[in-house]
A = this chain, B = another copy of it.
Amino acid sequence: MLKDIIDNNENYQPGLSIDCVIFGFHDNQLKVLLIKVERANKWSLPGGFIPVDQDIDTAAITVLNSRTGVDGVFLRQFATFGKVDRNKQHFDKKTLEYLKIEEAKGKWLMRRFVTIGYYALVDFSKILPNPANRHEIVEWIDHKEVPELILDHREILDKALDTLRIELNLMPIGYNLLPEKFTIPELQKLYETILDKKLDRRNFLRKITNIGILTKLDEKKSNVAHKAPNLYSFDKEKYDEVLKNGLNQGW
């Protein structure tokens, strides 16, 4: 893996990487897919390098796909991070020794790196977190309980969430985060979780249905306490149309 890349580092863009913030939604919680390598004591965002013969968007899809197995999902570039010392001393001599990387080749890793941030929205239920190898742990972690991350990954994660919050006002969200059939309260919880604030049930219903991207199904959710809520699905055609044109016109 990493060693293969180092050994063939001329096939990759030097000093440039990709990090993905992969969001999922489960148990009314916003989850983030994080990775921990055996030896490390901190978690990190799934990332990767950019083959010289691949578009950066393609490289991002590869990163996402290798960890989640899904493709065709919502994936968007949101920012590029390039503080001078952002990866200072990340790969020290000891780590290189441990990874059995020659010092000469290790220099490729030790140089200053700029990273391009992407965020993805995926259907939690369809994902089986997929470790790249047996030395790696991949896990969904509640975004409110994210532990200390390596480098500036915390900053990257925060910026991704900020972007998602802003984009919530510009486009519909949910198609990639919820199962095919869902209830309005579930969709509302998703919005509330992302925005980290309570919304009025009745006003939410009116606003979300007025957008015209929902199809009310002739079916109720089963096995629930209390009144069974109606099931809905997204009208993909209208959803994509709104995605393209945006929600609010503003001026």
Contacts and interface: CB of A to CB of B under 8 A. Distances in A.
Question: What copy number does this chain have within its complex?
Answer: 2
- Size category, A interface: 35 or more
A207 B16 CA distance: 44
Contacts of A56: 80, 82-83, 114
A247 B207 CA distance: 19
B248 A250 contact: yes
Given A54-B84, A82-B116, A251 B168 contact: yes
A168 to B, nearest CB: 6
A16 to B, nearest CB: 6
Contact of A13 (B50, B83, B114, B116): B114
A79 B116 CA distance: 9
A225 to B, nearest CB: 27
Contacts of A83: 55-56
Contacts of A247: 250
Contacts of A52: 84, 111-112
A14 interface: yes
Interface of A: 13-16, 50, 52-57, 77, 79-80, 82-84, 111-112, 114, 116, 166, 168-170, 191, 195, 199, 207, 246-251
The 4 A-B pairs of least Cβ separation, nearest first, read A169-B250, A56-B82, A80-B80, A55-B83
